Amino acid sequence: MLDAIEPGQFDEWVAFRSIEPDPDKWLREITKRGLALIAQAVSGAEVDADTLDPWANTEEEEPEVLTGPAAARAVRQKMGLQ
């Protein structure tokens, strides 16, 4: 499938990912908040949800956004097709 992706399809996927949140981030957020609530209920101590997630406070580097032919060329290079 990826060997036949067109630049327009890739642009559409990039646009979708810029609008829709990363599902892994949402799952991690829900899980750490739930665990914090359980820990507070069991121990009675105040538990910060961010202390339960080792990746919560790490700075994420913004990826370079490529569009059109440049994006398709980058994908083909990553896949070893060029």
Question: Does 56 score more than 60 pLDDT?
Answer: yes
Residue 41 lies in a domain: yes
The per-residue pLDDT for 2 is 60
Furthest CA-CA distance within the chain: 59
Record the tokens describing residue 65, joined without a space.
Answer: 């956004």
Separation CA 67–CA 80 (nearest Å): 19
Q: What percent of the chain has pLDDT over 90?
A: 16
Residue 58 lies in a domain: no
- Letter string b/e over residues 4-27, b meaning 16 or more CB atoms within 10 A of that residue's CB: eeebeebeeeeeeeeeeeeeeeee
Residue 57 lies in a domain: no
Domain count across the chain:
1
Residue 60 lies in a domain: no
Residue 19 lies in a domain: yes
Residue 59 lies in a domain: no
Residue 16 lies in a domain: yes
Record the tokens describing residue 62, joined without a space.
Answer: 């913004």
**pLDDT-based confidence at residue 57 (cuts at 50, 70, 90):** low
Residue 9 lies in a domain: yes
31: containing domain: 2-52+65-78
